[in-house]
Amino acid sequence: MVIRAFAPQDKDAYLAMGKDFYAGDGTLFPISDQKLLDTFECLMRGEPGLRGCILEHEGQAVGYALLVSYWSCEAGGKTVQLEELYLSEQVRGCGLGSQFMEWMLREYAGSVKRFRLEVCPRNQRVKKLYERYGFELLPYEQMVRNME
């Protein structure tokens, strides 16, 4: 698997994969195409703290990951949040998720204090992947306030 930065030519592939991600078990609800487009544009502008990775297998874009970096007082340093990890249906179960997790842990080794992610309760398969890499549930309830 090749893991590389998003590039302008990835726009259509990302929009299709993002739409599929938000229609599946990885999220609680779908989002608008505009939000996906806004995210892509932020990646192209080099938004501070946001990193996008395209996952390629056999020369084809088969997934993506969005990573967000921020300071956490609780962790005592920089935190990297795996905001989204998507693999297309045809490559799920082939070990690419594990390859990505290993890459991520190596990529940030020594430079972060914590990794964080969210997982939907109905997505038990991916929850088991994360648990294999040492992630555990926090006893927090998450709250949001949307400003739209």
Number of Cα atoms under 13 Å in the Cβ half of residue 40: 20
145 inside domain: no
Domain count, the chain: 1
Taking residues 108-125, report their average pLDDT.
95
10, pLDDT greater than 80: yes
* Parent domain of 121: 2-132
Rounded to the nearest integer, the mean pLDDT of the chain is: 96
Q: Is residue 94 a part of any domain in this protein?
A: yes
**In CATH, what number is assigned to the domain containing residue 28?**
3.40.630.30
Pairing label, strands 50-57, 60-72: antiparallel
Residue 35 phi, psi dihedral angles, 5° rounding: -65, -35
* pLDDT for 25: 87
Predicted confidence (pLDDT) at residue 128 exceeds the cutoff of 90: yes
Q: Does residue 98 register a pLDDT over 80?
A: yes
Asked whether residue 141 is assigned to any structural domain, the reply reads: no
Q: What is the pLDDT of residues 129-138, one digit of tens each?
A: 999 999 999 9
Query: What's the average model confidence in pLDDT over 83-89?
Result: 97
Q: Is residue 61 situated within a structural domain? A: yes
